[in-house]
Structure 1
């Protein structure tokens, strides 16, 4: 890749991040009318316990198995054998029947030193062939209490030493460990050791399950995890990163990880972090009853069915291909525009929105970056299509320089015309002279800056000579119209649009005072970018007029942090589109230093959210370290499913600001994209709860823009692997998933 002047930095304090292979999650929901109380794997079979009956999971349905044993409450697979147990005894699956091993109630089973052990409330047994043998020695168990030990080593016991009441057994450090309610006990040979912990205590007396993993023995409780290491008992709580402290099930994962069930979702614990999985995206319900782990998939039984989380090797390049295929297969594209989909009377339809130009701009920039990186003509074609759509938004209006928010086809679009416009005001729809189209007026400043950011970038990176002239003319017309009207966007009714105001009468007086920073930054960006590309002095004079009014200095504190009611998350997107436009062209050191001060302040506020759009923009124009590793990890954690499922994180116990960050906007935690739903470029990581009941599908262009921007500036390296399966996806599973293809009249082509 050739590094252009857009990318040049004198000093680069950042290091590129390798696009290494990682495991990407996919979700599947299998609904059940009754709670699934237990789940286990038996070879290739998925076995579930529902209402005391055993079922096999086949595809998306449950098939009842014959002859379910009575009194079964637990399922477990040990050494490739499936066990069922509970008050009715212990059973083992044998071909098409269940073989009974023990009549009495069984509370727990585990593998220990190569054998299967089981426990009742008071005793422990070893499985020998087809029967359980009590391991109690002939003289009974001994006590670890030294006052009971005689000089010759014998013990005189007034009462026999009891193991129970036993709730769970587990093998750790070559020794059987017993969990009583609120107490951990060790069976060391024939000695019941009630004093095995030298340091620390369990986090709660309300204990649930145990799991041995290497050097650690985990104990789940209602106040966090107890962790035994040797003779030391540690505690893992919300302040340590545990999302939910009220833990229940513990299951060994497939990659040195541990899966934890709670009544508020499932948790994956890794050596270096935590993954939280909740309803509705990952699980049918938050109340987890049982977890089973396969080679590359995890099965989570809940009160409303099973959540299946499968893992597949991915690279970020492959993930970008997935989202490009998603846009195509789900029919997000129409006439060069990119659209959100929504559920309209049971069908997916494209939303003709309040900001079609802004949404399409992100895709235009993504494909422009991609073409600059790869030289892929298909990417250039996509960019050119989106560019033509952006041109149309200005050409569809009868006034040169006035842009539309969106365009509706009377003959081809379905669903409903939006009745709301800017800021919740009534929509302003206007018909074209031929009556084929309606265009939406009252364009806002966010639409305007999106045009300049994306069109200027397309001009620089992907346009042919004709398109370069069209891009210049597009910018010339819009900027000229705004300047001719004293820095105001005048609508069809002869009045300023609600938010299309960059004039000092608005920005430097009380009514528009709060917008002086971001709107001033936008005006500086689009006026100077137009001058830089056209060379026309009138735009340079307009730029200097803005500076004389103090607009440059006002940009320094453009990012608002207080009061909370004045924080508009979409303003961050507008500001960074303006930074990316202005700083590409403005080279004067004195003026540039003012805008860099603004960027420095803004990035420090946004840094805790770890969103690549902010980090990459900062690194591109400062050359400074911008925590690229965490920004790239953010991209890895995007979900493949773009349906906006509900999500909830406000109930979690790990809501704290990570060390090294300050929350200037009141956010409690930067939530991973895995734990939310796919959102637009103006996304906020500090929003804890959201979703629209799965009734909307978001276009994933935010990922594409950020990924290809990272590739363009060299922040993300191309994958080293040549394996096609790690560089692209098979999208056949997405066929006929979304909206119906658009069949109305075509868009005019501008030459």
Structure 2
């Protein structure tokens, strides 16, 4: 019967080449691999202040700010007053190598060493025009030349663009002089000065104040704010979207076009042909074909952005709560994976081979000994198994072995063969915290071991069970050698035998069926458990057949056949719930994908494969709009079909480097719509980028708009590691072709005990000795 295992192994090897259906009459591959090219990765820096920051500018890489009308420069994490600066400052901007400062006492120029007072007037805006600095009061525009300002108004005054003012000889008779004001902003576009007045855009064409420059289109609103020229485009910000002037045609950019917030204010040029937009509800980066939203919490100390400044590799936002600085660094996805592995070490997410999130209590970080330690550790075990299969690095194998032994421990720590625990807590020296909640909000069940060394958490659920099978099967096929393979098979047989011998139920140490450990027909095929018939049926089919495939023991094949006779396969087709949205459990999607991954590669019967594939097709179509790599990569691996791999890979690029779970809010946005080409089946109105939420684990959803823990939780980044290395293993993501080590690896994190203290409790048993 060992031929069955070998066939499964060959099949997994074939998956690498995209031929997952080896021997099934279909070896076509409809997906194309995605290159891991260098990209610009955001890194956060937030500097809170006691008072709002009203202005910001960057001169020679020094950040200058205005707080309560006074000028400061940023030094480290603090603001230092600038000597000799005027007070009651209203605006600052860097032009032609100098810092222009407008205050109630006049206009000043600072070159980082000395101050020069240029004028006693108060100015509202500055711009570069024909390579010279131009400044504007509310009524006039001046050119700065040879150290002084000159009013650009021609002798005799300005002319009007109103054709009724022209005489036959081209002269004009004006009852009232033509004025430029009230000026709110100025900008040079197509070598012509453009002037923003309240609700109106005008053009200074030589002597003529052209009020009729727009042939087609209208401004989104009369409440106008700012002007910005980039190449062939002139942007006008308003409270109801952006106006875009190209030539003499004015179009609008609204929430329906992807603009996250329509109430736009200041705009500045970026560093990569992009534009930055400040709003009262966050910061926006606009690239050639997409918008990036940066809200308070992760990126900003406050959502109200007052001013923005940009330089070659960073953007600084002045907000009501301080400074938000977004640094950009060249990265590859492989480098990001290395960053997250360093993060897990530096922040102490690992303990005895388990992985944990961290929670802050009384200012100190602790590992949560949670309700699903097995499921969370299984994600890391799968990640390291995929990684070792790609790299062959012994250090990666050791990581996988450590996590595998932790999974074994969850079963060996209980007094009953085959019964797994949710978590294990050392009764001596464990700095973690025991979770006092159990399944469905019930009180936790903690049991002491006979040797008094450990507490183990009972009432294990189907979540935990399928996670064991998925991760241990992957470990068995990709990492295990010798005794390790036998331990992996033994682990699965002990669990499967215990469940089968108890009538397809998981019986806890108290003799009662666990709350969610039910796969028996009396539960799944009756009204009480009917809602679980699809997902639980898929799980039990998967782990029973996987156990048979890896061991060849007929006991498990007979058990599987009995499940088939009960009609379990048919129930899997609609296992994915879609209604009502409020009762959809995101973790069920994770369980389903783990089940598919250990059922479809082993099952050969064409009729049953057809049923399971229909189930997978339906599930993926529902989840497709979220672009989460775990769903896309699994679907592509098991079908060979196209699975939006480009979108899934982009999802990985958009993960934030900081895994702290800050609060986030997106429900206020104006771009909440389902993208073209996708359909929402679960009530989601938009697939939210990882950049715009928080680092989430394996059960993540991309359609949750608001959430977070206000910086009081740090998530382990195992979801990224699993998805990235799975993508590499199956060839969906190509290996980077760059040779620069700085684009492949990261330096070791500086500092110690950045998160939880090191584990100093009882050592976990070593099952490989």
1:537 aligns with 2:568: no
Partner of 1:509: 526
Structure 1 CA distance, aligned partners of 2:639 and 2:312?
45
3-state secondary structure, aligned to 1:16: coil
Deviation at 1:207, TM superposition (A): 0.3
Q: In 2, are the aligned partners of 1:71 and 1:89 still within 8 Å (CA)? A: no
Deviation at 1:51, TM superposition (A): 0.4
3-state secondary structure, aligned to 2:750: helix
Structure 2 CA distance, aligned partners of 1:215 and 1:229?
6
Q: In 1, are the aligned partners of 2:61 and 2:311 still within 8 Å (CA)? A: no
Deviation at 1:563, TM superposition (A): 1.7
Q: In 2, are the aligned partners of 1:366 and 1:708 still within 8 Å (CA)? A: yes
Partner of 1:366: 383
Partner of 2:677: 660
1:355 aligns with 2:364: no
Partner of 2:414: 397
Q: In 1, are the aligned partners of 2:577 and 2:584 still within 8 Å (CA)? A: yes
List aligned pairs for 1:62-461, cutoff 5 A. 62-461=79-478
Cα distance, 1:638–1:681 mapped onto 2, change above 3 Å: same
Structure 2 CA distance, aligned partners of 1:409 and 1:295?
51
3-state secondary structure, aligned to 1:608: helix
Counterpart selection for 1:743 from 760, 764, 769: 760
Structure 1 CA distance, aligned partners of 2:112 and 2:337?
46
Structure 1 CA distance, aligned partners of 2:13 and 2:68?
65
Structure 1 CA distance, aligned partners of 2:299 and 2:351?
30
Partner of 1:526: 543
Deviation at 1:182, TM superposition (A): 0.3
Counterpart selection for 1:690 from 707, 714, 728: 707
Counterpart selection for 1:546 from 563, 588, 593: 563
Q: In 1, are the aligned partners of 2:57 and 2:94 still within 8 Å (CA)? A: yes
Partner of 1:579: 596
Structure 1 CA distance, aligned partners of 2:172 and 2:583?
75
Q: Deviations over 1:42-63 (max 9, x none)?
A: 1132111000110111010001
1:610 aligns with 2:619: no
List aligned pairs for 1:484-503, cutoff 5 A. 484-503=501-520
Q: In 1, are the aligned partners of 2:68 and 2:88 still within 8 Å (CA)? A: no
Deviation at 1:153, TM superposition (A): 1.1
Counterpart selection for 1:4 from 10, 13, 24: 13
Q: Deviations over 1:609-666 (max 9, x none)?
A: 0000000000001100001000000000000000000000000000000011111000
Deviation at 1:5, TM superposition (A): 3.1
Structure 2 CA distance, aligned partners of 1:108 and 1:356?
57
How large is the RMSD of aligned CA atoms in angstroms? 1.0
Partner of 2:734: 717
Counterpart selection for 1:671 from 688, 713, 716: 688
Structure 2 CA distance, aligned partners of 1:519 and 1:230?
61
Q: In 1, are the aligned partners of 2:666 and 2:706 still within 8 Å (CA)? A: yes
Q: In 2, are the aligned partners of 1:21 and 1:313 still within 8 Å (CA)? A: yes
Deviation at 1:148, TM superposition (A): 1.2
Structure 1 CA distance, aligned partners of 2:316 and 2:456?
49
Structure 1 CA distance, aligned partners of 2:259 and 2:756?
40
Name the stretch that deviates more: 144-153 or 179-188.
144-153
Gaps of 5+ in 2: 1-9, 21-26
Q: Deviations over 1:370-414 (max 9, x none)?
A: 111111111111001100010010110110000000000011212
1:32 aligns with 2:41: no
Q: In 1, are the aligned partners of 2:342 and 2:749 still within 8 Å (CA)? A: no
3-state secondary structure, aligned to 2:496: helix
Structure 2 CA distance, aligned partners of 1:87 and 1:190?
30
Partner of 1:479: 496
3-state secondary structure, aligned to 2:127: strand
Deviation at 1:721, TM superposition (A): 0.5
Structure 2 CA distance, aligned partners of 1:299 and 1:327?
29
3-state secondary structure, aligned to 1:584: coil
Name the stretch that deviates more: 616-625 or 69-78.
69-78
3-state secondary structure, aligned to 1:748: coil
Q: Deviations over 1:154-185 (max 9, x none)?
A: 11111111111111110000100000000000
1:621 aligns with 2:638: yes
Structure 2 CA distance, aligned partners of 1:179 and 1:241?
25
Name the stretch that deviates more: 593-602 or 140-149.
140-149
Q: Deviations over 1:235-259 (max 9, x none)?
A: 0000000000000010000000000
Q: In 2, are the aligned partners of 1:69 and 1:98 still within 8 Å (CA)? A: no
TM-score, with length taken from structure 1: 0.99
Deviation at 1:150, TM superposition (A): 1.2
Deviation at 1:94, TM superposition (A): 4.1
Counterpart selection for 1:569 from 586, 597, 603: 586
Structure 2 CA distance, aligned partners of 1:105 and 1:565?
56
Q: 4+ residue runs of structure 1 moved beyond 4 angstroms?
A: none
Deviation at 1:415, TM superposition (A): 4.5
Deviation at 1:6, TM superposition (A): 4.1
3-state secondary structure, aligned to 1:367: helix
Aligned length: 750
Deviation at 1:87, TM superposition (A): 3.5
Partner of 2:75: 58
Q: In 2, are the aligned partners of 1:326 and 1:734 still within 8 Å (CA)? A: no
Q: In 2, are the aligned partners of 1:36 and 1:304 still within 8 Å (CA)? A: yes
Structure 2 CA distance, aligned partners of 1:53 and 1:731?
39
Structure 2 CA distance, aligned partners of 1:732 and 1:611?
28
Deviation at 1:222, TM superposition (A): 0.2
3-state secondary structure, aligned to 1:545: helix
3-state secondary structure, aligned to 2:369: coil
Partner of 2:719: 702
Structure 2 CA distance, aligned partners of 1:727 and 1:402?
42
TM-score, with length taken from structure 2: 0.97
Structure 2 CA distance, aligned partners of 1:416 and 1:375?
36
Structure 1 CA distance, aligned partners of 2:709 and 2:751?
22
Q: Deviations over 1:538-590 (max 9, x none)?
A: 10000010010010000000000012243111100000000011112112211
Structure 2 CA distance, aligned partners of 1:31 and 1:391?
46
Gaps of 5+ in 1: none
3-state secondary structure, aligned to 1:205: coil
Partner of 2:7: none
Deviation at 1:296, TM superposition (A): 0.2
Q: Deviations over 1:64-109 (max 9, x none)?
A: 1223214420000001111001443211014544211111121111
Q: In 2, are the aligned partners of 1:344 and 1:415 still within 8 Å (CA)? A: no
Q: Deviations over 1:678-712 (max 9, x none)?
A: 01101000000010111111000000000010001
